Amino acid sequence: MLRLKIIFHLFFIVFCTSLQAEVSVVDDLGNSVRLDKPATRIVSLAPHLTEMVFAAGAGDYLVGVVNYSDYPPAALKIPVIGSYQKINYESLVALQPDLVLVWNSGNGPEIVERIKGLGLAVFVNEPKRLPDIADSVAKIGVLASTEKTADQSSVHFIRTYNRLKANNKKTPVKVFLQLWNEPMMTVNGSHIMSDAISVCGGVNVFADAVPLIPRINIESVVQRNPDIIIATGMADERPEWLNYWLVWGDMGAVQNDNLHSINPDILSRHSPRILQGVAQLCDYFDKARDKLK
């Protein structure tokens, strides 16, 4: 009997060890990310990645974040190691992370390569379409061995996305999304926020611009004559510069009083909360359609 107990104990140890076996995923740049065991010390270098980690059920494994990682509230208790474009590498190394989550277009390729040069495991995130967010949450769940929670979050996201898309197959409206005023910036058709516009039946008037986030001028906006202007950049407050468009009375968005704002935290961040921003977009587009009839 004692021998059987020892054999069972050894089997249990081997079984538990196998649960901590190598995990791997492919990141958004096509790189294979392999860990000898699931991550338990994670650093996030973008606020939206911090939100993804919590959505994946791995919030307790976060040991470092960057500025503005303020959601959920528990994120505010995690040590900050810089901003998304200026990392304190000494602090990063001191945290001894077994996984660093990086935003390619936000942090930049140079930061990605420098962190890899430190010998740290890196998952590069670059969602271009809304469903990519669900995919990233699921992959973080694999890397942290929190698949159950991550998969639940991903499924809920996709279901909500599909419902919004199905309910908004309506008359197209021309949309100008204004990220900032000076310099004036928007997004092109490859940006995830342009995908958010299309879900609601909108057409991004700067979809054909070459940079992902192009700088534009007033004349180019007036020439494209959007039916609606959506501004981000000022939390829940309506930006004062949104009213600067009122002098262009011949533009459709101004004629029909279709000047609106959305909190950038629920539209600019590539996190699961973006669907809240999409729902608000859809509501604004419906109001614009009513005025165009």
Q: Domains plus CATH for the chain?
A: 20-160 (3.40.50.1980), 169-292 (3.40.50.1980)
For residues 197 and 195, give the distance between their C-alpha atoms in angstroms, rounded to a whole number: 5
Cα 219 to chain centroid, rounded: 31
Q: Report pLDDT for 1.
A: 53
Question: Is 91:82 a contact under the CB 8 Å cutoff?
Answer: yes
Taking the whole predicted model, whether its pTM rises above 0.85 is answered as yes
State the CB neighbour count (10 A cutoff) for residue 12: 10
pLDDT in tens, 122-156: 999 999 999 999 999 999 999 999 999 999 999 99
Helices then strands, each counted (H, E), the chain = 11, 12
Sort 171 into a burial class: Cβ within 10 Å, 0-12 / 13-18 / 19+: exposed
Q: Which helix (H) or strand (E) holds 175?
A: strand 173-178
pLDDT in tens, 205-251: 999 999 999 999 999 999 999 999 999 977 788 899 999 999 999 99
pLDDT bin (cut points 50, 70, 90) of residue 13 is: very low
Question: Is 82:61 a contact under the CB 8 Å cutoff?
Answer: no
For residues 93 and 83, give the distance between their C-alpha atoms in angstroms, rounded to a whole number: 16
